[in-house]
Amino acid sequence: MQTFQGIAVSPGVAIGEAFVVDSEGFRIPRRFIERDAVQDELKRLEASVEAVAIQLEQYGQAVAVQLGEQYGAIFSAQHQMLRDARLQTEISSLISQRQYSAEYAVSRTLRRYAKVFQNLENQHMAERAHDIFDIEKRLLRELLGGKREDLAHLSSQVIVVAHDLTPSETANLNTNFVRGFAAEIGGPGGHTAIVAEALEIPAVVGAGAFLNEVSGGDMLIVDGDRGRIILHPDDATLASYRQQAEQQRSQAAQLETLRDLPAETLDGQKIAIMANIEFPREVDACLARGANGIGLYRTEFLYLGSGHEPSEDEHYQAYLRVVQAMNGRPVVIRTLDLGADKMGLSPRSENERNPFLGLRSIRLSLKNLAGFRTQLRAILRASVHGDVRVMFPLISTLSELRQAKVVLRDSMEDLDEAGIAYNRDLPIGMMVEVPATALLIDRFAREVDFLSIGTNDLIQYALAVDRSNREVASLYNAGDPSILQLIKQIVNAGDEHRVHTSLCGQMSSNPMFTMVLIGLGLRYLSVPPMAVPEIKNVCRRVSLAQCEAVAERALRLDTAMEVNDYLKQELLAVMAQTAESTR
Ligand code: PEP
Ligand code: MG
C-alpha cells in the first residue's frame, strides 16, 4: 500500500481500478485478450519492438554523426535494453500466460524495471529510469498508433489518474464510468478542480509525481476529503473507506430532507443559497438539492466543450434550458471568462507569460466585440423567459465596466431594431475579483445592480498566489485575515448603495466559512450544487448574532492558520451542540 498526499478539491471517496493518462496522453488500461488472439498479440509486440529498434539505431547514428560517438552510445544502451532477452521473455509471457494486451504487458514490465532503477541510491543509475520510461513510451506509441482511446468513450468504471487534465478534458469525462480523478499537478482553485466538483466526482490534484507507480487496473482509493490517493490499499483500509463511503451516502440522504426548507438562521435571517453551474444539465442537480437559483453560470464552458465558437442560437438554447428549468428563480449568467487556465479556441499567445494577468475574461470580450455582442443578445433574448441577470467577470477598472455596459446597450439596440423582445430592466452585476476593484468598491457599487465576490481569483490576486499551482497551495488561503477584510469592505459598500452582494468563489462551499460569511453580512451564497444541502444545514443551526460574533473575532486574528483553527472549532461546536439536541 502506498499513500500520496495531494490537495482535496472535490469531496467524497472513490474506490476502483486506475485508468492511467500519462503526460503524453497514453492510456494503459488493464486489458485481456482472447486465448486464440495470443499469437497475433505476440506478433504485434514483435513488430513494435522492431520498429523501435530501428528508430533507436537511426537516432544513434544521426547523433553520432553530429555530436560524436559517445552521444550516439546513449541510444545503443537503450537499444540493448530493448533487445534484452530477459525483458522480452517477461513481456511475452505476460501476453501468452496471463493474456494481457501487448500495451499493458509492455507498460507493466517496463514500469517495474524503471522502479528498480529509481529506488537506487546512486543518482546516476536512478536516472536510467528515464531511459526505460522512454522505451516504454516509444513502444506504446507504436502499439497504440493512431488509435488512442478517447477518455470520453470509456466502457467500464475507473478512476482516472493523470499528470494533468485541462478543464475541458475534465468536462468531457463520462461520469457514468469515471468514479474519481487524481492528478499530479494543479492547485486548489484551478478550473480542473472546479469542473471535477461540478461533475460530483471525488478528486485530488497536486499530488506530485506518482504516475510512475501506477499501472492501469491497479486498485486505488481517491479520498477527496483529505486529499489522499491510496494505491493498492490493504484490506483494512479498503474496509474502512467502504464504510466511510457508505456513511457519506446516508448523510447525503439525510440532508436531502432539507431540500424544501429555507436556509434560515435560528433567529429568522434568510440566506439565499444559490448554485454555481458550468453546464445546463446541472440544473437538475440544483433543483434536486433545493438551490434558490443560479448564482453563477460559467458560460465559457459552452466553448470548452464544443470546439467551435458558439452561434447566438447555441448560446440562447443553453440559457433557455437553464432559465426555463429554474422556473422563475434568479439565474445569473456570467459573460465569458475565457483565458488563463480556461483556454478558448485560439492557442495562447506567445506573449502570455502570466496568463492569469493577461488577456482573459472581460478583457478578451472587450477585444472581441462581435462575439461579446452575440453572447449578450442571447442573454437578452433569454431574459423574457425568467429572472435573468447578467454579470461581467474580472472587472478591474470603472472604464471597463462602463464599456461593457455600452456593449450591452448596443446589443439591446440590435434587438430593438430586429423587433425581438427582452427585459429592458435586466439587472446588471459584476464580479469583484481584483483587489483594486475592492478598494474602489463604493464607486463600482453606484453603477451596478449587484456584486458577486469571486474569491477564487480575489485570493490569488490579493495574496499573489497562483490558484492552480500546487507548489504554492499552502499560501492560497481563504481564511487569510486580508481576505476577510476585503469581503467586509465589499459587503459594506454594497449595503450602503443598496445593491446586494453574493459570494460565489469556492470559499462559500466550505461549511467552515459559513458562519463568518453570514457574520460579515453576506445574505447570498453561491455554491456548487453538491454543497447546497450542507451549507443550508449550517445556516439553519446558527443565529445571526452568533455569526456576527464569530466574524468580529475572526477579523481580529493575525494569520490564516489562526482563523482556520478558530472557524473549525466553532463549526465543530455548532454541529456537536445540535447533535446533542436532536438525541
Ligand atoms: C472566482 O474567481 O471566484 C469565480 C467564481 O470565478 P472563476 O472560478 O470561474 O474564475
Ligand atoms: Mg474568477
pLDDT in tens, 248-272: 888 888 888 888 899 999 999 999 9
Q: Are 75 and 55 in contact (CB under 8 A)?
A: no
Percent composition of the chain: helix, strand, coil (DSSP 3-state, to 5): 55, 15, 30
Q: Judge whether residue 102 has pLDDT over 70.
A: yes
Catalytic annotation present for 539: no
Q: Could you give the CA distance from residue 365 to residue 347 in angstroms, rounded to a whole number?
A: 16
Number of CB atoms found within 10 A of residue 116's CB: 13
Average pLDDT over residues 7-26: 84
What is the CA(431)–ligand 2 centre distance, in A?
A: 8
Question: Which of 130-144, 242-256, 275-289, 305-319 tops mean pLDDT?
Answer: 275-289
Residue where the block lists cell 448564482:
295
Q: Which of 433, 467, 487 to mutate to test the pocket of ligand 1 (most atoms within 8 A of CB)?
A: 433
| Lowest-confidence segment of 168-182, 277-291, 356-370, 514-528 by average pLDDT | 168-182
Q: What is the pLDDT of residues 200-244, one digit of tens each?
A: 999 999 999 898 788 778 899 999 999 999 999 999 999 999 999
Q: Which of 430, 431, 508 to mutate to test the pocket of ligand 1 (most atoms within 8 A of CB)?
A: 431
Residue type, 519: G
What separation in angstroms does the CA of 70 have from each of 16, 60, 422, 552? 46, 10, 74, 69
Q: 181 - beta bridge partners?
A: 160, 203
Task: Tell me which residue has its CA closest to atom 9 in ligand 1.
Answer: 298
Q: Which residues, 6+ apart, have CB-to-CB distance to 339 below 8 Å?
A: 355, 358, 359, 360, 361, 363, 364
SS (H, E, C) 12-80: CEEEEEEEEECCCCCECCCCECCHHHHHHHHHHHHHHHHHHHHHHHHHHHHHHHHHCHHHHHHHHHHHH
Cell of 413: 439596440
> Which pLDDT value is given to residue 526?
98
Query: Higher confidence at residue 524 or residue 35?
Result: 524
The ligand whose atoms approach the alpha carbon of 468 most closely is 1
Residues contacting ligand 1 via CB (< 6 Å): 194, 296, 298, 337, 433, 454-457, 504-505
Using DSSP bridges, classify how beta strands 294-298 and 178-183 pair: parallel, antiparallel or unpaired. Answer: unpaired
Residue type, 311: S
Q: Judge whether residue 580 has pLDDT over 60.
A: no
Q: Could you give the CA distance from residue 523 to residue 272 in angstroms, rounded to a whole number?
A: 6
* Residue of 79, 286, 385, 504 marked active site: 504
Q: H or E segment at 437?
A: helix 435-439
Q: Could you give the CA distance from residue 451 to residue 437 in angstroms, rounded to a whole number?
A: 11
Q: What is the pLDDT of residues 293-304, one digit of tens each?
A: 999 999 998 887
Q: Could you give the CA distance from residue 480 to residue 462 in angstroms, rounded to a whole number?
A: 10
Average pLDDT over residues 545-561: 97
Q: What is the pLDDT of residues 137-183, one digit of tens each?
A: 889 888 877 555 556 667 788 999 998 887 777 877 888 899 999 99
State pTM to two decimals: 0.81
Q: What is the pLDDT of residues 36-89, one digit of tens each?
A: 999 999 999 999 999 999 988 988 888 788 777 877 787 888 889 999 999 999
Mean pLDDT score across all residues of the chain: 91
Q: What is the pLDDT of residues 310-341, one digit of tens each?
A: 899 999 999 999 999 999 999 999 999 988 77
Using DSSP bridges, classify how beta strands 203-205 and 178-183 pair: parallel, antiparallel or unpaired. Answer: parallel
Q: Is 15 left (phi over 0), alpha (psi -120 to 50) or beta?
A: beta
Query: Is 35-147 the same fold as 2-21+156-209+222-251?
Result: no
| Architecture in CATH for domain 35-147 | Orthogonal Bundle (1.10)
What b-and-e string marks burial along 396-408, b requiring 16 or more CB atoms within 10 Å of the CB?
beeebbebbbebb
> Which pLDDT value is given to residue 13?
95
Q: Following DSSP, what letter does each residue of 329-354 receive, concatenated?
A: SEEEEEPP--BTTB--SSPPPTT-SS
270-581 maps to CATH 3.20.20.60: yes
| CATH fold for the domain made of 2-21+156-209+222-251 | Glucose Oxidase; domain 1 (3.50.30)
Average pLDDT over residues 412-423: 97
Q: Could you give the CA distance from residue 442 to residue 445 in angstroms, rounded to a whole number?
A: 5
Q: Could you give the CA distance from residue 325 to residue 332 in angstroms, rounded to a whole number?
A: 14
Catalytic annotation present for 504: yes
Q: Could you give the CA distance from residue 361 to residue 432 in angstroms, rounded to a whole number?
A: 13
Task: Tell me which residue has its CA closest to atom 7 in ligand 1.
Answer: 456
Domain edges within the chain: 2-21+156-209+222-251, 35-147, 270-581
> Which pLDDT value is given to residue 581?
58
What SS3 state is found at 264? strand
Q: What is the dihedral of CA 548, 552, 558, 563, to 10 degrees?
A: -20
Query: Higher confidence at residue 447 or residue 122?
Result: 447
> Which pLDDT value is given to residue 111?
86
Q: Are 520 and 491 in contact (CB under 8 A)?
A: yes
Q: Could you give the CA distance from residue 496 to residue 494 in angstroms, rounded to a whole number?
A: 5
Query: Higher confidence at residue 156 or residue 368?
Result: 368
Q: Which of 456, 468, 501, 526 to mutate to test the pocket of ligand 1 (most atoms within 8 A of CB)?
A: 456
Q: Judge whether residue 124 has pLDDT over 90.
A: no
What SS3 state is found at 265? coil
What separation in angstroms does the CA of 97 have from each of 49, 85, 165, 356, 367? 20, 17, 35, 52, 61
